[in-house]
Structure 1
Amino acid sequence: MALMMIAAVLAVMISAALPMLVAFLAVGLITHSRRRRAALRRGGSAGTVPLAYRPPVPPRPVAPPWPQARARFDMLRREYAAYECDPMQVLRLPALSDVTVPSTGRFVEAFAEAQALETDSPPAHTHAAAFVAAVDRAERAWRAARDAAERIRLSGLSPAERGTVERVIKLLTTARDSDSDAERLTAYAMARSELAKLDRAGVIHLPRTAQATLDAAGRGQLPA
């Protein structure tokens, strides 16, 4: 009789607690499901929930290739100087020293811009990037100016002017190749005289560096 009463009491207690147990389990499942979805949205795995959201660290900016750009600009400067110091090159490609030719004018502007941005030591990131871009433009402009000068050559001169220029080139070739000091100095003197006429007529304008080379050669010194 006693066992029956105890069993009856236990049945009543279990029946009363069962709804609460079911509700507790349901709340737990819902909470777990919400945490799982939140973890997936934040990039976590299905079985983990990140403690806190951490935004991705932005990559460090890459330093512009300033040393390489400076080396390229030095090479460009040497190539440009070699042209301006060589009367023979100027006579063969006069458009490359004439800033009224559009391609030459663009190169001179791009070269001056790069030269203004050049520094002896690595500058700040923004300045370095501007210098690298300016060197790129100067190199492209130099190639375009040389290509245009190769196409033009002496085509803009009259037949008489072309004949004078070709005669000066022959004189300079003789002066360069001759083993005789007297013949060499005479050829340089005649070439300088003819170039002076072309300069006064506005046909050919030698850069000052090329003129200095001729002047030194005319005084018996080796040309630069």
Structure 2
Amino acid sequence: MKTIFHKADTRGFANHGWLQANHSFSFARWYDQERLHFGALRVLNDDIIAPKMGFGTHPHENMEIITIPLKGVLKHRDNMGDEWIPVVPGEVQVMSAGTGVEHSEINGSNDEYLSLFQIWIIPEKEGVSPRYDQKTFSVEDRKNKLQALVTSFNDEDSESLKIHQDAKISRIDLAKNTAFNYQLKSKDHGVYIMTISGDLEIENHMLESRDALGIMEATDVSIKSLSDSQILFIEVPMLVL
């Protein structure tokens, strides 16, 4: 087993006034040669967006983009015909940029800040047709058990959203002093584990809120919650770029 430990305060940070952004991997003007990606995981941004503000229309191509709102309301518009669709906590949004897509993302509230994770995963094939999807996931279905949010089109899980990569994004909410064992798909995969909130012990590492641990060359991972905790798992093939 190999591990990479990222404390929350070692992430890149950008203060744009309307946007407070934390970058787990090199993004925009923040560059760290040691933090370019984790396998096929290219971006994990932890953003807080001011009321009525957001990202104007901009393009993407050949990337799988996943957005997980944590607080507030996100509104999405794109050139595929989707017009200011709301995405709220409990829902997850996926977009395959493929041959090219343009979209806008704004805080749909007049008075509440929007908090979200945005994840970019490098696809297993380029030039696919752009697509958009979103789905609601019940909080009850992740209490002390793993809830798959996003999987590959080739995965048999019919309840999750789909992307063009042999990846898996999932969440779990663990009660205090609960043990959990995460099983990886294969030794060719790694898993990037972020503590959304709470305190954890993972393979002799102590994690607090927004700390993250990348694990490679393993079949499973032992986790214990030291307090009530919310955890995000991003499992990806360990691509060499």
TM range (shorter): under 0.3
TM-score (normalizing by structure 1): 0.23
TM-score (normalizing by structure 2): 0.22
More strand by share: 2
Larger radius of gyration: 1
More helix by share: 1
